[in-house]
Structure 1
Amino acid sequence: MVLRYLTAKLAQQIDEELMSSAGAFSIDQLMELAGLACAQTLAKVYDKEKYPKVLVCCGPGNQGGDGLVAARHLGMFGYRPTIYMPKPGSKDIYQRLKTQCDNMKIQTLPPSNETTDLADALASNDVILDAIFGFSFKGPIRAPFDNVLPMLTKSSLPIVSVDIPSGWDVEKGNIDGVGLQPDVLVSLTAPKEGVRAFTGRHFLGGRFIPKAMEEKFELNLPQYPGVDQIVELPQTQKL
């Protein structure tokens, strides 16, 4: 059976059912599991001895929350993450996740002079974790992200994107040519239609999907190895 790729509508429906009385997950639980999967993916591909410094770029929505969770876990794994938030989120959960990172003594770039700070950070880090835009992104890219994405694209640092590369349409992919071009992608729950053409290393993080929901939506998820929160998708799954 072939792994199912999700449309925007179906991805939204699954998220809603996970947090309904039927799924019974809280947003906190899902962010924690998603962020852990992202941190584990980065750690699997980029060894901390060679790539110890990670620039975690967080958007203001749930995608950014996943990034903050990943930053905390990366710190616990022995990496030295730095958080960059072009536009910090205002929700309570976002603030709590940020406080957890502060308590881990994880550095956050100051909000002033953002472009200059980002240029300095790109010069002093080893890998980027892209948690800016999620599957609900719709173009065009607006300020301040219209300056941020080109700088990340021009950087020589490897990029790990969360769920879908920032700037890509969830169903049509990088149709405007302004999205990031990551080396690694960690899809959450199930891959999205827009990443079918992705050719880098592709991981799946969604070990929280209940069996009943997997069967209902015919996701055909692969087996996760051992106790890992992620599974790498073989080339045949990307066709």
Structure 2
Amino acid sequence: MSLKTLSAKNASELDKDLMSSGAFSIDQLMELAGLSVSQVVYHLQPLSKGNRILVACGPGNNGGDGLVAARHLWHYGYKPTIYYPKQSKNELYQRLCTQLKTLDIPFTEDFQSALKETDHIVDAIFGFSFSGEVREPFPAVIEALRDTKLPVTSVDAPSSWDIEDGPPSSGPGKGFQPDALISLTAPKPLAKWFKGRHFLGGRFVSPQIAQKYDLEIPKYEGLSQIVELPSGEGKL
């Protein structure tokens, strides 16, 4: 099965449609996205292989997805730690942080030290809207993600990758290939450069919206919010 990719522009328009004609709130979409991310981690990192999860969150929606995923992972029995250096003052993100703190999930400002005490990393720094240069404090973080021997799962895009053009030819993200990628709603064009295990989380797209954006909805099994795709899945 070859799935169509969704450009950054269309991804943004699709989100607007989900919140208008689809009647979803941003809270609901973030909850569904984070749930999908948590299921990928559960699939790739069974508790028996190590339960320490480091979740690196950026300042936007991608980071919010990571915060939601961390909450679900805690309830599954994992021990998440949050690296969230540029915390949004938006009320939604503040509530997500409060939910984690009420579970005594730790936040850290020292990414390098946290790397030494984890079993799996969730890269929820930059999503499909990323463009331009990687700014502080994230260059060193992305370099660490590139160089670590630990498994890394990226949310919607490997951080620093261009949504249309894939991995950067220079800068901290050069050579960064995470072990797994979960595309949200639909694969983005960058998927054709990705070499690891590729999952899709989008079990909320209606047939009408899928038809409008010429998307193919895969078969989700049972209760699962994710489906695994062949590596390099997605066509322009």
Tell me the TM-score normalized by structure 1: 0.93
1:214 aligns with 2:213: no
Q: Which residue of 1 aligns with 2:168?
A: 175
1:119 maps to amino acid: Q
Cα distance in structure 2, aligned partners of 1:105 and 1:211: 40
User: d(CA) in 1 for partners of 2:11 and 2:34?
Assistant: 18
1:129 corresponds to = 122
> Which letter does structure 2 place at the counterpart of 1:2?
S
- Residue 222 of structure 2 aligns to a residue in which SS? coil
- Residue 224 of structure 2 corresponds to 228
Partner of 1:204: 200
Which segment is superposed worse, 169-178 or 203-212? Answer: 169-178
Is 1:59–1:85's contact at 8 Å kept on the other side of the alignment? yes
Q: How does 1:51-200 map to 2 (within 5 A)?
A: 51-109=50-108, 114=109, 117-177=110-170, 178-179=172-173, 180-200=176-196
Cα deviation, residue 118, structure 1: 1.4
Structure 1 position 237, deviation (Å): 3.2
CA distance in 2, matches of 1:44, 1:142: 32
Distance (whole Å) between structure 2 residues aligned to residue 198 and residue 147 of structure 1: 22
Q: Which amino acid aligns with 1:41?
A: V
CA distance, structure 2, for counterparts of residue 91 and residue 158 of structure 1: 31
Tell me by how many angstroms 1:147 deviates.
2.2
Match of 2:18 in 1: 18
Cα separation, 1, equivalents of 2:111 and 2:9: 34
Tell me whether 72-81 or 153-162 shows the greater mean CA deviation: 153-162
- Shift of residue 150, structure 1, vs aligned partner: 1.1
* Percent identity (aligned): 53
SS in 2 for 1:106: coil
CA contact 1:197–1:238 (8 Å) conserved in 2: no
Once superposed, what is the RMSD of the aligned Cα atoms?
A: 1.4
Instruction: Give CA-to-partner distance per residue, 1:97-134, whole Å, 9 cap, x none.
Output: 0101111111111xxxx4xx211110110010000001
Going from structure 1 to structure 2, the CA distance change for 1:137 and 1:102 (only over 3 Å counts) comes to same
Q: Which runs of 5+ in 2 are unaligned?
A: none
Structure 2 Cα separation of the partners of residues 68 and 96 of structure 1:
10
| 2:32 is the alignment partner of 1:36 | no
- Return 201-210 or 145-154, whichever deviates more: 145-154
Task: Say if 1:141 and 1:167, in contact at 8 Å, map to a contact too.
Answer: yes
Instruction: Quote the residue 1:9 is aligned against.
Output: 9
Amino acid at match of 2:181: L
Amino acid at match of 2:102: N
* Deviation >6 Å, runs of 4+: none
Residue of structure 1 in register with 2:233 after alignment: 237
Q: Which residue in the other structure is 1:47 paired with?
A: 46
| Offset of residue 236 of structure 1 | 7.3
C-alpha contact 1:59 1:89 (8 A) present in aligned 2: no
Tell whether the 8 Å contact from 1:60 to 1:90 is kept in structure 2 after alignment.
no
Specify the code of the residue in structure 1 equivalent to 2:133.
P
Q: Secondary structure of the residue that 1:186 maps to in structure 2? A: strand
**Residue-by-residue CA offset, 1:11-40 (whole Å, 9 max, x unaligned):** 1110111111x1110000000000000000
Structure 1 letter corresponding to 2:8:
A
Residues 164 and 190, structure 2, Cα contact 8 Å, conserved in 1 = yes
Instruction: Check conservation: 2:177, 2:196, Cα contact below 8 A.
Output: no
Unmatched runs of 5 consecutive residues or more in structure 1: none
Deviation at 1:235, TM superposition (A): 4.2
